[in-house]
Structure 1
Amino acid sequence: MSIRAPLIKLTIFAVVTVLLTAMLAQTLGTWTTSGTGYRARFTDVTGLLKGDDVRIAGVRVGKVTDIRVVDNSIAQVRFTVTDEVPLGTGVRAKIRYRNLVGQRYLALFEGPSTGRTLKRDGVIPLEQTAPALDLTALFNGFRPLFTALSPQDVNRLAYEIIQVLQGEGGTMASLLRRTASLTNTLADRDEVIGRVISNLNAVLSTVDEREGQLDQTISQLQQLVSGLAADRAAIGQSLVNLGELTVATGSLLGEARAPLASDVDGLRQVAGNVNANAEAIDRALAAMPGRYEALTRVASHGSWFNFFLCDLKGTVALGGQSVPIPPFTSTAPRCSAAASS
């Protein structure tokens, strides 16, 4: 008894689940393969695929089973319709949009009554069929309005346009009301558009006030361009000469690179010697003003120097030997005065 009650509940739940799943599958058409087969011919079935719905008054009654080209230019669609829905010979077929993604379905309509039933595998001729609505041509007419709307409003308006033009819902009045309400969005932006136009007028007014300067600038620019065009040969030759100068400069620098490196190395040695004898150079520079002053006094009587030989001693190198020079000492009073000073 403790196991029977849960088992009964589980069985009931399983049966109900299977029945609901079967009903859902039947509704979605995943298991619907039976029915009476028919054919319909169209000038264009772009977007219609095998397995798409066949509907009457929005209710799914079958599906598309095959699509092929016949007579080199006619599209023939094979489809099935449940046996409970017989079709007359006057039936009409249209391809309609199922949604904005691009899915389509085959819609069947009751045509003029002929009192005869369309036989199995019967053909619905071109005169009784219509292709899908050309959304590209339709939406191109609404492009100026779509550019000013949000994506959500565009999708809503486009779907209502399709429904109205396919006769699936709404009326032309409701479509016009929707279009008018969306057009009000543009009217709400009238102030912004007005400011843009005002700013543009200000810019154009400023340009108009400086029309003379603008004309002069354009004329001068034209003269400059004309002058450059007239001197294009000289400019071209100058560029050639500049190229030759660049090549010559490059070769000169290439030739002078080694001597220049040697000079830089010698300058580095000179700088080292100067730095090493900085104290002696400083002493010489410090004593130089006094020596220049003495020289100035000596040369004050003309542009020459008068020297008096008072003492002489030294050697002369002859044949690799040093020969002493006999010493000389002057007894002139000037020499005595220079010695005493």
Structure 2
Amino acid sequence: MKVRGPLIGLSLFMAIAIAVTWMVYATLRRDVAGPTTPYAAMFTDVYGLRIGDDVRMAGVRVGRVENIELAGKLAKVSFIVENDQHLYGNTVASVTYQNIIGQRYLGLSLGETGSRGMLSAGSVIPVQQTDPSFDVGRLLNGFEPLFTLLNPKDADDLTKGVLQSLQGDQASIPLLVQQTSTITRTLSARDQSLGDLISNLTKVTDTVAQQNDDLDHALDQTRSAVANFDARRPALQDSVGSIARVTRRLAAIADDVDPSLNQLITREPGFSKHLAGIEPQLAFTGDNLPLLLKGFARALSEGSYGNAYACDLNATGFFPGLNDITTFIVNAATPGNAYPITTKNMGWHTPRCRNMANG
């Protein structure tokens, strides 16, 4: 009898504990009642969406999110929907805010594009028919430039006035109105600046949008250049090593030449001082050098007024073995000589020298 009583109590406690635990588990799991049909959707961003979150149509819960995984550069969300709810080819899936603490749910609605046929079980909604998650924090951060225009003291006074008014302080209401008016005047004084800022941002956005193709092309070219550099990394590393070795050699040569060069520049009387001392002679030479070059050009150019022909100059006298060979070569290469070549008609001069010899 003594053992039976505690055993009954323990059994009741265990049964109640199991029932409560099951209720908590079922509440947290939020299972879908009845048979379900699986589907999936592709998103570019599912920030904030969790496994077990609701799937809703027109605000009514009709399913739950079963799995979230990465598929390439997109996020694939697998979910189930009650069998009596159907999805169509124009169904749009969106990640929507559920409450202020950041919970999301997967919303399903009918869009304007796509077929109106019913989707089969396991179908995947393409990314073109999904709306990604929206980060409210990013939106609030966009107002940061506006908040920086406010005077911190005025903002604190405004907050204090609101709190006092909510607490029933009647005297703080006129002060609250006055502070609100002050902040309004501050913002209105910056209206032109804010308008110019928005206009400039609009122009920048329009320009970037117009140059979208060029920007994509530039990014592709940059990516291709980086890929080529990466593919040629060993050759570039070897080149850098070669440049380093050449630099060290040039440095060694410079170290060897530096004393002599320094002595050439700094010694007395010195090369520079000598050039400075003969400045008139250098100037005279520079002025007359063009005339001298013109004279050489005139004497060496083609014409009958200054040419000289050394017809009887024989440079092979110092090499007797070349006499016969040179004669044959000159005779064969000179137009107007007799052919075939014999010892009697062998030519010794060019046509110019033969004409001069014949008068």
Q: Same fold (TM over 0.5)?
A: no
Normalised TM-score (structure 1): 0.36
Task: Give the number of the structure whose alpha-carbon radius of gyration is greater.
Answer: 1
Higher strand share goes to which structure? Answer: 1
**TM-score, normalised relative to structure 2:** 0.34
